[in-house]
Structure 1
Amino acid sequence: MIEEKLVMKESCRKLFQPVVEKINELLKTKKTPIMIAIDGMCASGKTTLGYYLQNKFDCNIFHMDDFFLQNEQRTEERLAEIGGNVDYERFKKEVIIPILNKKSIIYRPFRCDIRAIEAGKEIGSKRLNIIEGSYSQHPYFGENYQMKIFIRLPKEKQIERIRVRNGNELLEKFISEWIPKENAYFKRYHIEKNSVIISS
């Protein structure tokens, strides 16, 4: 087990080193705040990269998975919208705008198991902010990122990772609904083209 963790740690170091170097360059500038978006395919390693960077730098990390649509937002029109199956309005209001204004954030994750938003917890302002998850580069957020990252992986590897992580029942949901929605968003807004690419 210890050897497996060491191998994983070393593989992450090699894979993510270009991102670490770019962040170090950004931190040498006078720019503040610094915002970095980690977008990409399901199960590609977005959260892994986010936590890896949090261990490397003094930063805040925010997860798009904490901003799924609430029940009343899940209209036929909204679910048909490309990039519309996250609460991008609430994310911008509660996370992006406070970051830009160097204010503390009242962070209120949406919990899928109870279909409700949790009570907020205060997160202090930091210069470096990592936004990770699908739809983190939604155009609604404007051009506020100093670095955009897209993580991709082979389709077969993606399917197997989802199967292991989520089980066969949810895998079918990914294949029939969530992956096609993400692919439509990537294509419409040229997400991969406008990002630093990591192949996992």
Structure 2
Amino acid sequence: MRNFLERFYELYPHSEIQDYVKLAYQMSYGVTHFFTNSEDSLHFLKLETSQMEPHSDKFLYECLNDNLVRVNLRPYLAHHLDLEELNANFYQTSLLEMPKLSYFLDLAKESKSFLLNHGFKEAEFDEFMKDYKDRDYPPVHHTKTYTECYHPAYRLISRDRLSPQIKSLKIMDFLESFKKGPMTVIAFDGKCASGKSSVAQLLANELGATIIPADDFMDGSDAEIGINSKRLINDVLTKLQPEKPLSYGRYDCSTKKMETIKIPKVGNWVILEGAYSANSAIRKYLNLIAYFGISDAEQTARLKKRSPENFEDFQNKWIPRENRYLEKEQIVLHADIWI
């Protein structure tokens, strides 16, 4: 929760206590628009978007946590994306069973601690929550200040319903505003089964990006950081040159042997793709970090489908190690963009 509060504070510095409570409420209750069917929700979506000007001054979507995102309507329209698809995702998200009150109260407590460390007054927070409790914790709106500063217009959907295409569009929007040099190295780090490789391939097709899989350096030499960072630095990161060839050794886990990978010409965009790709040992060689998240339930479902024979190893060994790494290395906070 704290990582997401930090990012929210950074993006929306004029937020008030009520806006943070709304954030915690959405994380806990999800969609609270009580449409009886998807046709009604589509009608209201089309009505709302008919009155707004499309533009891309915000991210296409913003992550609330590993479970939910806010899809911003103006950039969604600017990309000429399908409103019916967005509505279907929104409506399906509204049907999800969410943790609700006890979880909300825990998040509110975390929010209070965070806000007190950022100059908010304890008495004001307590007074707001007392009044809020007296009203039986109803859905809450953004404040007037937040609305005037940021003009919120979005739909809440499950993060698991984001397509690789939507994720790649968010990254490309971000890259357009990034001042790049002759070569830009981007790490795609985050949870396994979160779509890193699919999005990397889309960007390779769209931008001519070169993909370096971090798994190529997973040779068992580091029990905590799952890749051989030293070999990655020496064989790849210090030798990358745009428009030049590159060769490096890939460790094959099945044969326990090295094989040579040859890249005829390195692109202007290089994607270091995979878990552990933004660890502190190699971070100085990176220009950007993208964090990929996924809900626990969806991660489990994807891994069971993708690698049923290895699922127990994922569950008992690889995922716990990955989660320890993400927490220790604070990848979420170091990330320039959340996918």
Q: What TM-score does the superposition give when structure 2 sets the normalisation length?
A: 0.49
CA apart distance, 1:178? 0.5
- Secondary structure of the residue aligned to 1:139 is coil
Deviation at 1:58, TM superposition (A): 1.9
Cα distance, 1:127 vs structure 2: 1.9
Bigger relative contact order, structure 1 or 2, given CA contacts below 8 A and separation 6+? 1
- Aligned equivalents of 2:244 and 2:234: distance in 1? 12
Residues 61 and 132 in structure 1, CA contact (< 8 A), matched pair in contact too: yes
Residues 1:120 and 1:15: Cα distance change in structure 2 (over 3 Å): closer
The reply on whether 1:64 has 2:205 as its aligned counterpart is no
Once residues 259 and 251 of structure 2 are traced to their aligned partners in structure 1, the CA distance between those partners, rounded to angstroms, is: 6
Pairs aligned (count): 178
Higher-Rg member (1/2): 2
Amino acid paired to 1:14:
I
Deviation at residue 12 of structure 1 after TM alignment: 2.5
1:37-68: CA deviations, max 9, x gaps? 10110111110111011011022111011111
Backbone CA RMSD of aligned residues: 2.1
Matches within 5 A, 1:1-200: 11-26=163-178, 29=179, 31-69=181-219, 73=221, 78-79=222-223, 82-83=224-225, 85-99=226-240, 104-167=245-308, 169-195=309-335, 196-198=337-339
Q: CA deviation at 1:32?
A: 2.5
Q: Percent identity?
A: 24
Contact 1:33-1:102 at 8 Å conserved across structures: no
Which amino acid is 2:181 matched to? K
> In the aligned structure 1, how far is the partner of 2:235 from the partner of 2:243?
12
Contact 1:103 1:124 in 2 (8 A): yes
The Cα of 1:185 is off from its aligned counterpart by: 0.8
- For structure 1, which segment, 126-135 or 97-106, has the greater mean C-alpha deviation from structure 2 after superposition? 97-106
1:126 to partner: Cα distance: 2.6
TM-score normalised by the chain length of structure 1? 0.81
How far residue 122 of structure 1 moved from its aligned partner, in angstroms, is 4.1
Structure 1, unmatched stretches of 5+, are 1-6
Q: CA deviation at 1:103?
A: 5.2
Asked whether the 8 Å contact 2:219–2:253 carries over to 1, the reply is: no
The gaps in structure 2 that reach 5 residues or longer are 1-84, 86-161
Residue in 2 that maps onto 1:4: none
Letter in 2 for 1:186: L
Letter in 2 for 1:97: T
Query: Would the aligned equivalents of 2:182 and 2:242 in 1 still touch at CA under 8 Å?
Result: no
